[in-house]
């Protein structure tokens, strides 16, 4: 039966060549990608000037002193204006992280432009002359593989079928350009790293923020866990004076109360919104204008103004009194078996008032100290000496680390026990390892769609129909796998972001770097390695490959080289879809557009609507890993047949990516994290990883083509690149983590002496204005301290009307006005007297002797400002 089935199979399914993606697939994918891209770009150019709350959200909220250029509202006029924004303006308006991210795209453009020149001038003619295209299109092939590696004879059963060309002199070009492109990549990376390090040191050395003067002290022993002892200990090191110490304590109870208060506050706002949205029982309308023309009364007519205010107040009272007050059923008593419907407004107001009392009391308590503290020095130099020194001779004790920005600190993780944070970290790591196995199964099964032969084995009739319809076959073979891989590439980062936020890290910047690392591992391992190996073999053979590679590491290398040779069209389509098709959708912020109606329907309160107007957050962990994968793909295919197409698409990808991300970082999206450009070292290490993969693939391809001499001569390059990684870490890593002491600008430095008539503050101001590089971080941290917000944050009032309520004084309750307010359930105001407030208080406290506190409702006045003067601001209701 097996033989009969084999006889019915086409020749290309018997090992003559693989029926993988061909030229028709590239044509179909290019039409799809360009169509999607032009539609999204056209929509963006139409919507951009009309929806500035989305597409200029960050620009509208930025400091006018930054002087970021205003982009013209013309259809495409914003592109050259955006291109002309300088690196200094990027630093001034978006900071170091954005500068580093965009410089990776600029470096990639320069590198692949140089590679494209040599690919067109030298490699393309060589490929045309020797006809070395070895894909599944009917030409010569190396794809007939049986996965056994005891021996390597040519054209021998049970081994790789290796092409035995008579003339393999062209493979010397592979050797030369493997060395040349590797050295060229290292040169560009080294040059760009030197530039990034210099700008980072100048940027951080000439600014003065509380973060730059603060370090985090961990592993504090029990006998030093007090602010006074820590201050004395640090000052005894004789590196400088301590300005303040924040010893982290076990604030879990206080943080839980603040979280509960936030929930109750939102419920109270939603209840008030539902109450005010009702139609009054009687048609009481707004007060009539003071004169027939509808003009507002003049200032001279004080009596008319007073009458108008009284009419407005009475009308508002009537409007509220005629509405039916919302109710909520609460349970109380023994085992909560009793229940009763009560006034929802009174219930949540009483809950909020009681929580305010508990929070005020909790803020005055003393809490157990932990082993972590934030120490703020009087100078940046003193802080840097502390973080770059070994303080204590005991392992794990009194370790100094750079502090994150105060707004970046995840306070709940500062007081969690070390063993619990370690357990969280290992649990997440094990979960990600388990997920990697799941992705491996999904990607390996998905890769089978790349071959009609594999489709025929799974669904014979469907495979035959694809053979007869070339366009449909191209869509299924390449369009569908590319789309699913791209969707995985979009959705999986959200899962890894969720897991990283629960890994116990102390700052959001560390979480961001962790997301970058996790997502890169996903795209590199699954979309590149697993896809390349599984796409060149049937699913049953794939597991044999995995099994054999555990016994012989050469298996995975040769399998990767074979897969890379056959899947160049698939990766071409992948880069094409990511660049030409999806980048315009990222510029359009399609996700925000699609979700906006859902969020809009779900928005109930003024606070919810204000949230809709905030800029979308830019997450580097969602975008950088894909860009690194495309960089590695361009490196790997930079010498193989079709290299000019891959490099050309790579240029389009990084060119469009530079413009899209530059627009989002500067104008439309916010980036609250404060990582000070630390992602550059991660970028460099992954570029070196790409170089190592590129060289291993080239060695394997040369071995498959019997060019053993050339393969051996590439081996020293592999070793040199590996050594360069350690050299790069030793040379540049400290400068990407710390601030060099010589970079810190002091008034005693040569050339910085002040004039006799010039005070030091003026000199510092002129120094900063001369470089204009650091005000974004200084502005963000102005007035900030390393204090848990739960200890000092004002208790927010309910946001009922359009304008937000003014902040409260610390320790003041949000429920402050007398209980004889309008609409409180008294029968005098037309309400029902069946919901007395003392009943609610009694059910909450366990007795009926506790009366409800005061209620304060905010109403919008004519000027849009809340006040207490009876003119429509804060009103006793």
Note whether 618 and 604 are same-domain residues. Answer: yes
- In the structure encoding, which two tokens stand for residue 16, read together? 């003559």
75: DSSP letter:
S
- Quickly state the pLDDT bin for 89 (edges 50, 70, 90): confident
**Ramachandran angles phi, psi of 332, nearest 5°:** -155, 180
- Quickly state the pLDDT bin for 451 (edges 50, 70, 90): low
Of residues 806 and 599, more confidence is placed in 599
DSSP E strands, 558-600: none
3-state DSSP call for residue 747?
coil
Query: In the predicted model, is pLDDT for residue 592 greater than 90?
Result: no
Select from 382, 403, 424 the last residue of a domain.
403
User: What is the tens place of the pLDDT at every residue in 457-487?
Assistant: 666 776 667 666 667 766 766 667 777 788 8
Total residues belonging to the chain = 877
Share of the chain above pLDDT 90, in %: 38
For helices 554-566 and 679-704, the axis angle rounded to 10 degrees is 90
Q: Which has the minimum average pLDDT: 116-120, 346-350, 746-750, 814-818?
A: 814-818
3-state DSSP call for residue 21?
coil
Q: Report if residue 316 sits inside a domain.
A: no
User: What is the tens place of the pLDDT at every residue in 362-411?
Assistant: 999 999 999 999 999 999 999 999 999 999 999 889 999 999 999 899 99
The contacts of residue 535 (CB under 8 Å, 6+ apart) are 20, 447, 450, 451, 563, 566, 567, 570
- 234 CB neighbour count, 10 Å cutoff: 24
Q: Which has the minimum average pLDDT: 358-372, 599-613, 640-654, 758-772?
A: 758-772
3-state DSSP call for residue 404?
coil
Which domain, by its residues, includes 339? 254-280+325-362+794-875
Cα-based distances in Å from 407 to 379, 513, 674, 725: 21, 17, 9, 34
Per-residue model confidence (pLDDT) at position 193: 96
Cα-based distances in Å from 373 to 65, 211, 218, 786: 35, 14, 7, 10
Note whether 246 and 258 are same-domain residues. Answer: no
- Quickly state the pLDDT bin for 564 (edges 50, 70, 90): confident
Query: In the predicted model, is pLDDT for residue 541 greater than 80?
Result: no
Residue closest to 685 by CA, chosen among 554, 571, 505, 524: 524
The contacts of residue 682 (CB under 8 Å, 6+ apart) are 513, 516, 517
User: What is the tens place of the pLDDT at every residue in 798-839?
Assistant: 888 777 777 666 656 666 533 333 334 433 433 444 444 555
Of residues 545 and 306, more confidence is placed in 545
Query: What is the mean predicted confidence (pLDDT) over 849-868?
Result: 35
The contacts of residue 830 (CB under 8 Å, 6+ apart) are 321, 322
Q: Are 182 and 723 in contact (CB under 8 A)?
A: no
Note whether 162 and 270 are same-domain residues. Answer: no
Per-residue model confidence (pLDDT) at position 534: 65
Q: Report if residue 581 sits inside a domain.
A: yes
- Quickly state the pLDDT bin for 547 (edges 50, 70, 90): low
Q: Which has the minimum average pLDDT: 395-409, 526-540, 786-800, 862-876?
A: 862-876
Q: Are 315 and 304 in contact (CB under 8 A)?
A: no
- 188 CB neighbour count, 10 Å cutoff: 17
Note whether 247 and 263 are same-domain residues. Answer: no
**Strand pairing category for 874-875 and 669-670:** unpaired
- In the structure encoding, which two tokens stand for residue 586, read together? 């990222």
Q: Tokens 């930079």 correspond to what residue? A: 638
Query: What is the mean predicted confidence (pLDDT) over 781-809?
Result: 84
Select from 707, 737, 767 the last residue of a domain.
737
**Strand pairing category for 669-670 and 616-617:** parallel
Rounded to the nearest angstrom, the gap between the alpha carbon of residue 530 and the centroid of all alpha carbons in its chain is: 25
Q: Report if residue 837 sits inside a domain.
A: yes
Query: In the predicted model, is pLDDT for residue 151 greater than 60?
Result: no
**Ramachandran angles phi, psi of 343, nearest 5°:** -65, 120
Q: Report if residue 704 sits inside a domain.
A: yes
Query: What is the mean predicted confidence (pLDDT) over 835-854?
Result: 47
Note whether 271 and 145 are same-domain residues. Answer: no
**Ramachandran angles phi, psi of 50, nearest 5°:** -95, -15
Note whether 798 and 731 are same-domain residues. Answer: no
Query: In the predicted model, is pLDDT for residue 88 greater than 80?
Result: yes
Per-residue model confidence (pLDDT) at position 11: 46
What total number of domains does the chain contain? 3
Query: What is the mean predicted confidence (pLDDT) over 672-680?
Result: 82
Note whether 233 and 263 are same-domain residues. Answer: no
- Quickly state the pLDDT bin for 548 (edges 50, 70, 90): low
Note whether 230 and 142 are same-domain residues. Answer: no
Per-residue model confidence (pLDDT) at position 527: 82
Query: In the predicted model, is pLDDT for residue 137 greater than 70?
Result: no
Note whether 425 and 537 are same-domain residues. Answer: yes
CA distance 497 to 499: 5
Note whether 132 and 261 are same-domain residues. Answer: no
Per-residue model confidence (pLDDT) at position 612: 84
Query: In the predicted model, is pLDDT for residue 307 greater than 80?
Result: no
The contacts of residue 267 (CB under 8 Å, 6+ apart) are 348
CA distance 826 to 647: 76
Q: Report if residue 201 sits inside a domain.
A: yes
* Domain containing residue 389: CATH number: 3.30.70.330
In the chain, helix, strand, coil percent, each to 5? 60, 5, 35
Q: Which has the minimum average pLDDT: 155-169, 243-257, 366-380, 451-465?
A: 155-169
Per-residue model confidence (pLDDT) at position 845: 56
- In the structure encoding, which two tokens stand for residue 856, read together? 């304060």
Q: Report if residue 585 sits inside a domain.
A: yes
Select from 737, 755, 780 the last residue of a domain.
737
Q: Report if residue 789 sits inside a domain.
A: no
- Quickly state the pLDDT bin for 841 (edges 50, 70, 90): low
User: What is the tens place of the pLDDT at every residue in 225-238?
Assistant: 999 999 999 999 99
Q: Report if residue 294 sits inside a domain.
A: no
User: What is the tens place of the pLDDT at every residue in 607-629?
Assistant: 888 888 888 889 999 999 999 99
For the chain, the average pLDDT equals: 77
CA distance 822 to 319: 10
**Environment class of 317 (CB within 10 Å of its CB; exposed 0-12, middle 13-18, buried 19+):** middle
Query: In the predicted model, is pLDDT for residue 774 greater than 50?
Result: no
Note whether 539 and 443 are same-domain residues. Answer: yes
Per-residue model confidence (pLDDT) at position 377: 94
- Quickly state the pLDDT bin for 551 (edges 50, 70, 90): low
Query: In the predicted model, is pLDDT for residue 760 greater than 60?
Result: no
Query: In the predicted model, is pLDDT for residue 650 greater than 90?
Result: yes
Per-residue model confidence (pLDDT) at position 357: 92
Query: What is the mean predicted confidence (pLDDT) over 631-652?
Result: 93
Per-residue model confidence (pLDDT) at position 677: 86
Note whether 457 and 600 are same-domain residues. Answer: yes
- Quickly state the pLDDT bin for 64 (edges 50, 70, 90): low
């Amino acid at each position: 039966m097996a033989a009969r089935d084999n006889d019915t199979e086409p020749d290309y399914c018997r090992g003559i060549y693989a029926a993988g993606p061909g030229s028709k697939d590239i044509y179909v994918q290019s039409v799809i990608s360009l169509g999607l891209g032009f539609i999204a770009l056209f929509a963006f150019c139409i919507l951009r000037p009309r929806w500035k709350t989305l597409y200029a959200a960050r620009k509208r909220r930025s400091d006018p002193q930054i002087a970021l250029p205003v982009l013209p509202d013309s259809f495409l006029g914003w592109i050259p204006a955006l291109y002309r924004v300088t690196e200094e303006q990027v630093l001034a308006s978006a900071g170091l992280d954005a500068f580093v991210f965009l410089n990776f795209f600029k470096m990639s453009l320069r590198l692949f432009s140089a590679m494209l020149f040599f690919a067109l001038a030298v490699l393309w003619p060589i490929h045309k002359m020797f006809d070395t295209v070895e894909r599944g299109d009917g030409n010569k092939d190396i794809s007939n593989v049986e996965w056994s590696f005891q021996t390597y004879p040519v054209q021998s059963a049970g081994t790789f079928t290796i092409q035995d060309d008579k003339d393999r002199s062209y493979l010397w070009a592979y050797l030369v350009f493997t060395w040349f492109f590797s050295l060229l990549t290292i040169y560009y990376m080294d040059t760009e790293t030197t530039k990034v390090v210099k700008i980072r040191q100048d940027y951080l050395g000439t600014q003065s923020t509380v973060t730059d003067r603060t370090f985090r002290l961990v592993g504090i022993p029990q006998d030093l866990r007090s602010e006074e002892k820590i201050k004395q200990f640090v000052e005894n090191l004789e590196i400088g004076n301590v300005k303040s110490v924040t010893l982290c304590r076990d604030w879990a109870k206080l943080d839980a109360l603040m979280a509960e208060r936030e929930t109750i506050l939102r419920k109270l706002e939603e209840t008030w919104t539902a109450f005010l949205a009702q139609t009054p029982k009687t048609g009481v309308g707004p007060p009539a204008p003071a004169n027939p023309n509808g003009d507002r009364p003049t200032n001279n007519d004080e009596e008319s103004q007073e009458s108008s205010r009284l009419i407005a107040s009475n009308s508002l009272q009537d409007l509220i009194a005629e509405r039916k007050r919302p109710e909520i059923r609460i349970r109380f008593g023994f085992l909560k078996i009793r229940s009763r419907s009560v006034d929802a407004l009174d219930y949540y107001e009483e809950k909020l008032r009681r929580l305010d009392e508990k929070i005020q009391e909790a803020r005055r308590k003393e809490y157990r100290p932990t082993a972590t503290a934030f120490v703020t020095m009087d100078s940046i130099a003193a802080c840097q000496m502390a973080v770059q020194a070994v303080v204590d001779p005991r392992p794990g004790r009194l370790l100094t680390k750079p502090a994150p920005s105060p707004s970046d600190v995840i306070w709940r993780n500062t007081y969690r026990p070390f063993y619990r944070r370690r357990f969280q970290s290992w649990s997440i790591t094990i979960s990600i390892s388990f997920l990697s196995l799941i992705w491996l199964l999904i990607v390996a099964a998905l890769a089978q769609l790349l071959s009609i032969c594999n489709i025929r084995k799974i669904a014979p009739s469907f495979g035959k129909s694809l053979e007869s319809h070339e366009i449909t076959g191209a869509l299924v073979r390449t369009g569908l796998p590319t789309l699913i891989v791209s969707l995985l590439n979009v959705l999986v980062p959200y899962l890894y972001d969720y897991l990283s936020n629960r890994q116990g890290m102390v700052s959001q910047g560390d979480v961001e770097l962790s997301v970058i690392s996790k997502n890169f591992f996903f795209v590199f391992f699954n979309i590149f390695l697993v896809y390349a190996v599984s796409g060149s073999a049937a699913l049953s053979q794939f597991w044999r490959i995995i099994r054999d590679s555990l016994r012989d590491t050469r298996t995975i290398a040769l399998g990767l080289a074979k897969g890379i040779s056959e899947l160049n069209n698939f990766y071409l389509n992948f880069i094409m879809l990511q660049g030409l098709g999806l980048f315009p959708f990222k510029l359009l912020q399609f996700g925000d557009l699609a979700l906006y109606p859902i969020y809009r329907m779900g928005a109930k309160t003024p606070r919810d609507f204000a949230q809709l107007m905030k800029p979308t957050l830019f997450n580097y962990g969602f975008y950088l890993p894909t860009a690194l994968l495309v960089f590695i793909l361009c490196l790997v295919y930079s010498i193989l047949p079709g290299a000019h197409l891959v490099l050309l698409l790579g240029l389009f990808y990084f060119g469009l990516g530079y413009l899209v991300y530059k627009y989002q970082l500067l104008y439309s999206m916010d980036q609250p994290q404060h990582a000070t450009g630390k992602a550059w070292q991660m970028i460099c290490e992954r570029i070196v990883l790409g170089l190592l993969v590129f060289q291993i693939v080239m060695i394997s391809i040369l071995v498959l083509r019997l060019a053993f001499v050339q393969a051996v001569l590439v081996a020293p390059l592999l070793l040199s690149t590996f050594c360069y990684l350690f050299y790069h870490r030793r040379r540049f890593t400290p400068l990407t983590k710390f601030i060099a002491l010589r970079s810190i600008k002091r008034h005693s430095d040569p050339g910085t002496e002040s004039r006799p008539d010039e005070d030091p503050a003026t000199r510092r101001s002129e120094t900063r204005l001369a470089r204009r590089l650091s005000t974004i971080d200084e502005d963000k941290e102005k007035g900030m301290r390393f204090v848990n917000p739960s200890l000092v944050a004002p208790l927010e009032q309910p946001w009922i009307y359009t304008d937000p309520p003014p902040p409260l004084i610390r320790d003041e309750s949000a429920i402050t006005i007398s209980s004889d307010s309008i609409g409180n359930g008294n029968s005098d105001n037309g309400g029902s007297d069946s919901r007395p407030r003392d009943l609610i208080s009694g059910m909450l406290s366990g007795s009926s002797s506790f009366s409800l506190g005061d209620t304060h409702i905010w109403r919008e006045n004519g000027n849009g400002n809340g006040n207490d003067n009876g003119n429509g601001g804060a009103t006793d209701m």
